[in-house]
Structures are given as C-alpha cells and as structure tokens.
Amino acid sequence: MEYIILIIFVLFIISRMLPVKDVKNLAPEEIKHKLKNKDIQLIDVRTPGEYQNGHVKKFKNIPLQSLKDQSKQLKKDKEVVVICRSGNRSMRACRILKKQGFENLTNVRGGMNMWRG
C-alpha cells in the first residue's frame, strides 16, 4: 500500500513539471523580440517582493496565487508570455490559463534565472 501511495505522489509531482500541451517553451533570448510587440501580453507570476527586486520592464506582475482571479484583465485572443524565477511557476500559470480558454501561451524557459540583458 505504501508503494502505491509513493507512486501516486511521484506521478503527481512529475505531472506538475511536464510542459502543458500546445504551450510554447522558449528561452529568454527567443522572446526578447516580442517585448516590442504591443499585442503581446507579458506576465510575471512571481511574488510582488520578487518582482520589486528585479524584473523585465515590460512584464506586468500578476502573482501566480491571484492569476485565476486576475486573468479577467487579459485578452484570450492575444498571445500571453509568462515568466517567473525558474520556469516552473510560469508553466503552472500556463496550465491555469489554458484551462480558462487561453490558446496562445508561451512559457519563458528558465525564467529570470536565465534572463540576460
């Protein structure tokens, strides 16, 4: 019985880390050209404290824990690029947005840890 619980737990953790279907996973240097496009919504899902300690100028802070409620501010017909510290929370954010009907989602792989410039 313990092995079954352990296997379920491991599968749960793995499923949370897997990429979301139909979500682009791009490195920071691959999305820099998108910063100039006013039709793209740029979202940083880190905490307000993390955001204040350093962020990419054009990204708007919508913390992951409040994304479900605040996603109403976003337009479903426009691309959403999501960043966090390492890429894990932004992938969870993409999963949340996907469930809410957003289609054009991009996760910044490696997040702020990989951002240069």
Catalytic residues: 84
Q: Which residues pair with 111 in a beta bridge?
A: none
Q: Which residues contact 59 (CB under 8 A, 6 or more apart)?
A: 42, 43, 44, 83
SS3 category, 35: helix
- 108 CB-side CA count, 13 A: 29
Q: Which residues pair with 82 in a beta bridge?
A: 43, 107
